[in-house]
Structure 1
Amino acid sequence: MAADEITVTVIDDHPAILVGIEQWYANASRPITVVASGSTAKAAWTPPGDTADVVVFDLQLSGQGTPAYGDLRRLVDAGRRVIVYTMRDDEQAALTCLDIGAFTFLTKNEGADHLVEATLAAGQDRPYTPPALAGAFCANTRADRPKLSTREEEVLVEWFQCESRELVAERLNISTRTVTTYLERVRLKYANVGRPARSKAALVARAIQDGLVRVDDL
């Protein structure tokens, strides 16, 4: 396995989708390998799928009358980076997945380029907002926006645009510890209004929802 290789477990019950995803990954700019796949979330909990860097997850599997939010939550709670990749294209499903803690949300209509870019972003721990998710953010209005201080907003936006907290500290002429303190305050404020943001990608989602940044700024 190459040092920079990203490994993926794919949960989807359509064989043609599985074949297509493997082919898209084979042509990616950085090595991406599907190490496991299956029609249920079990594939992400058993070797070799249990150690994959990223889980690509179909929200609406055959035999399930409702979206598999429970399986998604269990994966997120276990610390897995989950890309929801689904035929569902409704705003509420997208926002619910982000609220649960999914890395990002893509519709299958968005195709190869967006899935590959989202997987690369997940493997590199940087945010990725595809068009459908951006549209859901823009259409959504939240009455439960936490009150952030000017400095908290400033640190948050700088962090979105930087590769590290150290670079944020350098730009703002503060210590790395102070950057971490501000970011933890922001996470706490979002958690206190019932909108937890456990990852950088989730914080990006919250900031876009609340009008702190635009998708074009990222």
Structure 2
Amino acid sequence: MTEHSGQDAGQEAGDGLRVLLADDHPVVREGLCAILESADGITVVGQAGSGEEAVALAARLNPDIVLLDLRMGDMDGVAATGHILRQCPGCKVVIVTTYESDADILRAVEAGAAGYLLKGSTRAELVSAVRGAARGETVLTPSLAGKLVRARTVDAPPLSERECEVLRLVSQGLTNAEIGRKLFIGEATVKTHLLRAYRKLDVTDRTAAAITAFERGLL
């Protein structure tokens, strides 16, 4: 585990982005560090060789961005992502890995990762991803975008035709009562359809349900 002192790191970074790297291969960490340190406005404030070390360092340094390897011995990147985001809710985590299966990508994004990059990404893609994640964007290696959409669609239980109708009207800003009148059903029935859609989409409110269904191509 390596780190700059908190004071020195803050002085070096100025108003730029403070990045923590975590990978169990030192040569990979050194390569990522060299790329990021050569970019304007980005400072690597710490390096970790395991998921547990990444969690501990993130709590201590509170970086803006954490770049995490997916497969590490003691704690994988998905588990580390959850711990880091609970400790540092303002931090953004980007997974950097050689693995590109649909399931791995979906697990990472559902854990809260802001992005998923392959280790074969170019210097420009890596720097752009760090800056994009800091702006609140979801960053993916271009070839992986389709995999994420497929994984979300395959794993999601299908919505019924009526649930889709209700969510379309939610997306138009209609209240439950207005939806009921439009579909000639009771308001309680509208609520039942929404609750079923929430469970299928793994969300907790109507806005999130409409957005998620739209993102998955269901509406």
Relative to the length of structure 1, the TM-score reads 0.63
Deviations 1:75-97 (A, max 9, x none): 23332311011111111100111
Equivalent residue letter for 1:75? I
**Unmatched 5+ stretches in structure 1:** 155-187, 214-218
Distance 2:196 2:43 in 1: 38
**Unmatched 5+ stretches in structure 2:** 1-10, 174-194
Shift in Å, 1:27:
3.2
Aligned residue runs from structure 1 range 130-149, under 5 A: 130-140=141-151, 141-142=153-154, 143-144=156-157, 147=164, 148-149=167-168
The corresponding residue for 1:22 is 33
Deviations 1:57-84 (A, max 9, x none): 00112x35x8443222212333231101
**2:66–2:92 contact (8 Å) kept in structure 1:** yes
Shift in Å, 1:195:
3.5
Identity %: 24
Shift in Å, 1:43:
3.6
Shift in Å, 1:31:
0.8
The corresponding residue for 2:216 is 210
Aligned residue runs from structure 1 range 183-202, under 5 A: 192-193=199-200, 195-196=202-203
Query: How well do the aligned residues superpose, as a CA RMSD in angstroms?
Result: 3.5
* Structure whose alpha-carbon radius of gyration is higher: 2
Larger relative contact order (CA 8 Å, sep ≥ 6):
1
Shift in Å, 1:25:
1.4
Distance 1:54 1:9 in 2: 6
The corresponding residue for 1:113 is 124
Distance 1:76 1:47 in 2: 9
The corresponding residue for 1:35 is 45
Relative to the length of structure 2, the TM-score reads 0.63
